[in-house]
Structure 1
Amino acid sequence: MFTANMAREWVKESSKKIEGNKDQLTNLDQALGDGDHGLNMTRGLKAAVEQLDEDTDEPGQVLKGVGKSLLSKVGGASGPLYGTFFMKAGNHLEGSKVEFSELASGLRIGVDGMKKRGKTERDEKTMIDLLEPVIEVMEERGNDVTPDHLMERANKSLDMVMEYEAKKGRAAYYKEKSKGKQDAGAQSSYYIIQALAEVIKKEG
């Protein structure tokens, strides 16, 4: 079961991982983007932690609040995308205890919202290329999904993203030269999935 406490721990752990890897995210974004991804994501997730709903017993409510924080605090393209992801997922989740299969459905709705907002599809070297394959394994495994399943798919996807040619945002200007470089958004998504896997391992 995915609980409100697990949702809160997910956000706190994500914030720690993003802040701990802020310089890496900044360097990746300087290579293909405008260099502010590390700072923006650190600021946004810190705000999300500070504004966490500590009273609700509904994980959906927690994630909706996180989405609102990210929308208001993260600059660039990342804020609206991650904000949409968490808000849409949160809107789908009802009740105090959510099955992992239902969490997968919520995250699917979240990533579909990101794709619509960013006008992005798979294989365009974005965070979608990390998040969607992980959600697929969650859908495939349902309530039997394990942290190892998540990380195995996340690791494989992160390697694949590096070899794609960028098709979106500032990175698209680099065309063929973007191959062999990692996308900052895919990397930050990796840390968010890693945080989720750790929370499931600890509390699931």
Structure 2
Amino acid sequence: MGGMIIVEEGALRIVGGLVDGRPVAIVQEADDVLFRVSGNSIEDAVAVARARLGAGGGVPSQRAPVDVPVDAAAPTPSVPPRDLRALLRAAVAAFDPLRSEGVTEGPGKDRYRKIYVAGWPALVHYEFLPSHARRHMGVELHVETEKAAAVTGILPALCAVVRDAMPGQAVVHDPNWVGGCGRLQVVFPDTATADTLARAMQQLIVLTRPRVEAALH
């Protein structure tokens, strides 16, 4: 199988993919990462994770491994790296006509691009954030101040909402972002189109903005 593999074992989820070109499987319970293992291939890493969980000894999974759609799959090492700076610029340009009232583009240039919402503190914002090392683009919600602890507290629930609305897409809660303030990531490979990224940002804002505003006020 190419790309990314997702297997569910009861309440646990195993996500297999490439991290810096290395096959890795991450075991999650809800939005918490329990552990990660590597293997000779993505399938092998998933098998190692299942064996460690005791799921490899005849315990069937609730759902067979599935290939994530192309836009959500990790690129293969044989594909030349894409210019993420150009992709970032294109995604921001594609997002501009999709912006809802009160949503403005902030700083970042070619390294990242913050998306601000009127009435929110600047340290709580959305962001297009490329990772050149991992060859992916994040469409993200960031909390970068302890003064927004109420938003930090609802990130796991928001992650679940976004995951349900974007089935098959890699949605990650990162509780360690900026000293534990946290962030929500919707992760796309560098093969994603600018339009896909722009519409994902639009959807992320629609799904999370009302609850973030309620938490802030």
Query: Considering the TM-score relative to the shorter chain, is it more than 0.5?
Result: no
Which is strand-richer, 1 or 2? 2
TM-score w.r.t. structure 1 length? 0.34
State the structure with bigger RCO (CA 8 A, min sep 6), 1 or 2.
1
